[in-house]
């Protein structure tokens, strides 16, 4: 009897205190291999799997603790050289390894960002182009309650990227699109110094390039909410690269 009560109390405690951990499933819908990576914010312990290879049409699932704040992205054009050094054409960590181990990607890189159960069990998530673009991506809650809308940048921005923002492969093809802040490092493009408020850092033709093509994604530090993406009740999430 006592055991039964204790067991019930334990279950209730686990239920209330977030024993639920979100499962995030990452699918590569691109025609080429990608190397997804993840970074846990605030130097919390990193996830067991911080970087991995994902063949075309393959999926991998990761268990995310609750609460959790962090981001996902994917590297492209990776290879291992004769000395065992692993490098990628876009979104490299500079770690020379498939695992990122707490390092963030070198822009330009499309991002999916999460605040899982940050406030009262409510999740926030978005697609961000604040670090530029390297490949299309979407994020979709599975289950949950509330708006729980899918967000994405489903368009390949590389072919139409403005010339002065382009990152090119050795064969001349465009493989990434920088933000104007990264390309020019000027306060009016980075919203710093005299430009560090929404009034003094309005959208530019460069930030509008991203905004017009991917309106659901953040494209500037003072981007108006492209729709607040939120979901409650402990949903799982699906991230698709090249949706
Ligand atoms: C910021 O603006 C003030 C007033 O217009 C100007 O005097 C100052 O030089 C500016 N600072 C920079 C870094 O441009
Ligand atoms: C995968 O890409 C194809 C186009 O190549 C598209 O029709 C399909 O909807 C995509 N699947 C997902 C899960 O996004």
Q: Which of 220, 224, 226, 225 is nearest to 188 (CA)?
A: 220
Mention every residue, 6+ apart, whose C-beta is less than 8 A from residue 37.
Answer: 50, 51, 72, 73, 74, 75, 91, 93, 100, 105
Between the CA of 182 and the centroid of ligand 1 the distance, in Å, is: 21
- Among all ligands shown, which has an atom nearest to the Cα of 196? 1
Domain ranges of the chain: 20-156+216-241
Between the CA of 204 and the centroid of ligand 1 the distance, in Å, is: 20
User: What are the phi and psi torsion angles at 138 (to 5°)?
Assistant: -135, 155
Q: Which CATH class is domain 20-156+216-241?
A: mainly beta
Between the CA of 69 and the centroid of ligand 1 the distance, in Å, is: 36
Tens of each residue's pLDDT in the chain, 243 residues: 344 444 444 444 444 444 468 999 999 999 999 999 999 998 789 999 999 999 999 999 999 998 999 999 999 999 998 898 999 999 998 878 899 888 889 999 999 999 999 777 899 999 999 999 999 999 999 999 999 999 999 999 999 999 999 999 999 999 999 999 999 999 999 999 999 998 999 889 999 999 999 999 988 767 766 667 999 999 999 999 999
Q: Is 240 in the pocket of ligand 2 (CB under 6 A)?
A: yes
Q: Tell me, yes or no, if the pTM score tops 0.85.
A: yes
Do the beta carbons of residue 155 and residue 213 sit within 8 Å?
yes
Task: Give the position, in ligand 1's atom list, of the atom nearest the Cα of 194.
Answer: 1
């Amino acid at each position: 009897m006592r055991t039964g009560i204790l067991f019930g109390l334990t279950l209730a405690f686990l239920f209330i205190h977030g024993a639920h951990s979100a499962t995030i499933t990452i699918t590569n819908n691109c025609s080429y291999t990608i190397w997804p990576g993840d970074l846990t914010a605030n130097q919390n312990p990193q996830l067991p799997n911080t970087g991995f290879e994902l063949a075309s049409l393959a999926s991998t699932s990761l268990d995310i603790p609750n609460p959790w704040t962090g981001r996902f992205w994917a590297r492209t054009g990776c290879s291992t050289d004769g000395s065992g050094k692993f490098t990628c054409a876009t979104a490299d960590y500079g770690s020379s390894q498939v695992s990122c181990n707490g390092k963030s990607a070198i822009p330009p890189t499309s991002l999916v960002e999460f605040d899982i159960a940050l406030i009262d069990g409510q999740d926030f998530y978005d697609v961000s182009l604040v670090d530029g673009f390297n490949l299309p991506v979407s994020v979709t809650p599975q289950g949950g309650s509330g708006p729980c809308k899918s967000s994405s940048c489903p368009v390949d921005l590389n072919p139409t990227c403005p010339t002065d923002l382009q990152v090119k492969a050795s064969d001349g093809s465009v493989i990434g699109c920088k933000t104007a802040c990264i390309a020019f490092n000027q306060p009016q493009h980075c919203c710093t110094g005299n430009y560090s408020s929404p009034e003094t850092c309005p959208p530019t033709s460069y930030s509008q390039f991203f905004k017009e093509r991917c309106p659901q994604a953040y494209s500037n530090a003072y981007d108006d909410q492209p729709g607040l993406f939120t979901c409650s009740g402990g949903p799982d999430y699906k991230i698709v690269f090249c949706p």
